[in-house]
Amino acid sequence: MSTFVLIHGAWHGSWCWHKITALLQDQGHTVIAPDLPALGVDRTPLHSASLQAYADRVCETLDACDEAVHLVGHSMGGIAITQAAEAMPQKVKTLVYLTAFLLPSGRSLMEEVQADTASELLPNLIFAPDKSWATVKPEASAVFYSDCSSSDVALARSLLVPQAAAPFITPVQTTADRWGSIPRVYIECTEDRAISVAAQRAMYTRLPCQRIYSMTSNHSPFLSAPEELSRHLLSL
């Protein structure tokens, strides 16, 4: 049996993994899904949220595990798992990027988003006057949940919280002998409107992965296609 650590993306929390957690646990695996600082039900002040704080939270989770884990990051969670794996490569068996930001050292998430001309994300955000945080326009559900059930969309919309901007603009910092030594898997979602499939493919072409899985899914397969996603994770 294996341990899976599941890291959510921007605006979300550990709640988004509830279907996947149940499916993996039913097969006897251990699943841990923490909230990143200032997200989910975590009450860290927004101004204290940073890429380093995200990595520290993931590292705390890894440190509590008795074995190396499959570390899964969704969307923005990709930068959190990248930075945590750089700090604790010995605790990571596999890095799994689920339609996530897979970035080379020195590049930020915002740089990648701005380069993705097919993404519908930026036009559907509402930024604070000082640009320190952002929320998602209420009418923009399809960007994340285009093929989700109405009940899943309602649940998600009720649980989304403001997202600090600082992690978006902070470049990841990695090295070949630490982060680069860990096997990587990418799960692309071909119908994603937040991170276009072209952008996903550009990222895993620039930083090749040992395995690529493809899902005909929106940005949130943990809600819309949990059985298929869990099969991919179980194949690890």
Helix 18-26 with 226-234: angle, nearest 10 deg: 50
Q: Which residues contact 120 (CB under 8 A, 6 or more apart)?
A: 140, 143, 193, 194
In tens, the pLDDT along 38-65 reads 999 999 999 999 999 999 999 999 999 9
* Residue 83 domain boundaries: 3-234
Q: Which residues contact 213 (CB under 8 A, 6 or more apart)?
A: 185, 186, 187, 188, 232
Residue 174 is predicted with a pLDDT of: 98
Asked if 73 and 97 count as a contact pair (C-beta separation under 8 A), the reply is yes
In tens, the pLDDT along 108-154 reads 999 999 999 999 999 999 999 999 999 999 999 999 999 999 999 99
Indicate the number of domains in the chain. 1
Percent of the chain at pLDDT exceeding 90: 100
d(CA 208, CA 183): 10
Is pTM beyond 0.95? Reply is yes
Residue 45 is predicted with a pLDDT of: 97
**Residue among 162, 118, 168, 167 nearest 143 (CA):** 118
The CATH number given to whatever domain includes residue 174 is 3.40.50.1820
d(CA 136, CA 194): 12
